[in-house]
Structure 1
């Protein structure tokens, strides 16, 4: 995958680097690489989603108190 970052004339390197990092995060390339490193069975993936949802619900309830 190629990321193209448009840099204006006179724009600082720091700003261009920040743009590239932001664009890289938006494309979710890193997340995809990490997911491909290790195979997770579909049943295990569903179980993890349920556990994450339960955790988020507990945190939401805790914050409302």
Structure 2
């Protein structure tokens, strides 16, 4: 999650523009990191499933 502090006198439009720029940079960095090495599609799918299980367990225990 991106957090931006609003500067004094900054308009919402300018803040939104800063947010979009920062979000775009984060996505570029993710793609570069992912492209450094190859992982098989089956391994990627397994990681997605494990991540989903982890998130579900995390929210289930908080109740």
Q: TM-score, normalised by structure 1?
A: 0.61
SS of the residue corresponding to residue 37 of structure 1 reads coil
State the number of aligned residues.
49
Gaps of 5+ in 1: 1-10
Distance in 2 separating the partners of 1:32 and 1:39 = 12
Structure whose alpha-carbon radius of gyration is higher: 1
CA deviation profile, 1:1-54 (whole Å, cap 9, x unmatched) = xxxxxxxxxx8xxx8xxx2x7514235100000000011100000000000000
Q: RMSD over aligned Cα, in angstroms? A: 2.5
Q: TM-score, normalised by structure 2?
A: 0.63
1:10-29 alignment to 2 at 5 Å?
Answer: 19=18, 22-26=20-24, 28-29=27-28
Gaps of 5+ in 2: 1-9
